[in-house]
Amino acid sequence: MIDLSQLTNMFGSVSESVQKRIEALIREPNAENWDDAHSIIVDGSATLWQYVCLIDSTFPRSTSIDQKTYETIWKEIPSRDILIKALELAQDNCENNLYYAAGEIRESKAKE
């Protein structure tokens, strides 16, 4: 079970407003909610998008911008299952003093 209050950003636990953005995405995984939540830092250093890519190695690692509207064009939106697995891994890493960087899970030295 995911406890979003266990996720961290560079300032500590993620705020309630950030948790609500993630909850909206889990409830309704669509382009608008993904665009709003993909860049949220979930383990003190890595984004939700990075964790999704870690769980699903085929998930797109880049996107494009509509030149007329300047809106992001998402080729794919992660499924609810992938989102939950990504958030569970991020939560587990936060609880175990680990973080995701440079494509791997590492032990945090900053929290000793």
pLDDT at 4: 94
pTM for this prediction: 0.87
Q: What are the domain boundaries of the chain?
A: 4-101
Instruction: Judge contact between 8 and 44, C-beta under 8 A.
Output: yes
Burial grade of 57 (CB within 10 A; 0-12, 13-18, 19 or more): exposed
Average pLDDT of 72-88? 96
* Gap between the Cα atoms of 53 and 71, Å rounded: 21
Mean pLDDT rounded to a whole number for the chain: 89
Dihedral sign for Cα 50, 26, 78, 34, please. negative
pLDDT at 1: 77
* Gap between the Cα atoms of 34 and 52, Å rounded: 11
pLDDT at 53: 94
Show the tokens assigned to 70.
Answer: 């300047």
